[in-house]
Amino acid sequence: MIDTVDTLVEGLERQGYLTDAALGTALFLALRMHQPILLEGEPGVGKTAAAAALAAALDTPLIRLQCYEGLSAAEALYEWNYPRQLLGIRLAEARGETPREADLFAPEYLLRRPLLAAIEHPGPRPAVLLIDEVDRADDEFEAFLFELLAEGSVTIPELGTRTALVPPIVVLTSNRTRDLHDALLRRCLYHWIGYPDPARVAAIIRRRVPEAGEPLADRVAGAVSRLRSLDLVKPPGVAEAISWANALQLLGLRLDSAAAGATLGAVLKYREDEEAARAALADVLS
């Protein structure tokens, strides 16, 4: 389906995801080299959206694992359906039978979490496995991923090793809240997604919020770019620019000082950032 970088970029754009040749090339290589890809960048620049658009462009399922501190291998891989196992025991006892352990730990009692679901995806096209914000997980979970990324397999003690017949396309994202282990980085292709320039942000807004119109999209894109030049706790990304444009068009406002002051909560997420923006509104809206 995807035989050139341009074909992939066009496929992503048909899904509403505008990208450049550098990211398109990185994703294309991940597909053709059958390697996981790590996308790093500030929050809101489109890392998660890239994986979703890739799955849509390939017409294949997106299987997402949202990482967080304390995430365990069991929560990411599989769990046993204990209520159903207990019901099986009671039904066997009602029939005067003694349930065997092998019967209770059979595949039908398995609850497949994202990693196992991606490994067991039957195809014909590989699923896109999104391991989102892997930097939020603990070192132990990061180490657990090594077998999956290196061999396309996972081990279930009761059932043995499960190896993917159709290995998933693995996309990891990181906001760089901590450094990832070298062993993980060696297994991945890498691409840093930076903030796009105002022209691309405006094009994205027009695609995602077509009701906003070109003048508002251009003005929001420029204002967001200037907001990022301030000393902010959380500089706004593309997601915040889309949210701001959407809020303004829903209220029927153009982006002036009064409208900006009333809608800053759509683009900035900290009180300190709002105060800094209000103090510099003239420069932000220039």
99 or 207: which leads in pLDDT: 207
Is residue 209 very low, low, confident or very high in pLDDT (cuts 50, 70, 90)? very high
Is residue 160 very low, low, confident or very high in pLDDT (cuts 50, 70, 90)? confident
Interior angle at CA 68, CA 63 and CA 70, nearest 5: 120
For the residues of 170-224, what is the DSSP string, one character each?
EEEEE--SSPPPHHHHHTSEEEE--PPPHHHHHHHHHHH-GGGHHHHHHHHHHHH
Residue 102, pLDDT score: 64
Residue 85, pLDDT score: 65
Q: Is 13 helix (H, G, I), strand (E, B) or coil?
A: helix
| 92-101, 146-155, 203-212, 235-244, range with the lowest pLDDT | 92-101
Residue 75, pLDDT score: 85
Is residue 223 very low, low, confident or very high in pLDDT (cuts 50, 70, 90)? very high
Question: What is the C-alpha separation between 34 and 128, in angstroms, rounded?
Answer: 12
| 27-31, 142-146, 239-243, range with the lowest pLDDT | 142-146
Residue 164, pLDDT score: 85
Query: Percent of the chain at pLDDT above 90?
Result: 61
Residue 165, pLDDT score: 84
Task: Share the mean pLDDT of the chain.
Answer: 89
Query: Percent of the chain at pLDDT above 70?
Result: 94
**Ramachandran angles phi, psi of 93, nearest 5°:** -65, -35
Residue 86, pLDDT score: 78
**Residue 257 C-alpha from the chain's centroid:** 34
Residue 156, pLDDT score: 77
pTM: 0.85
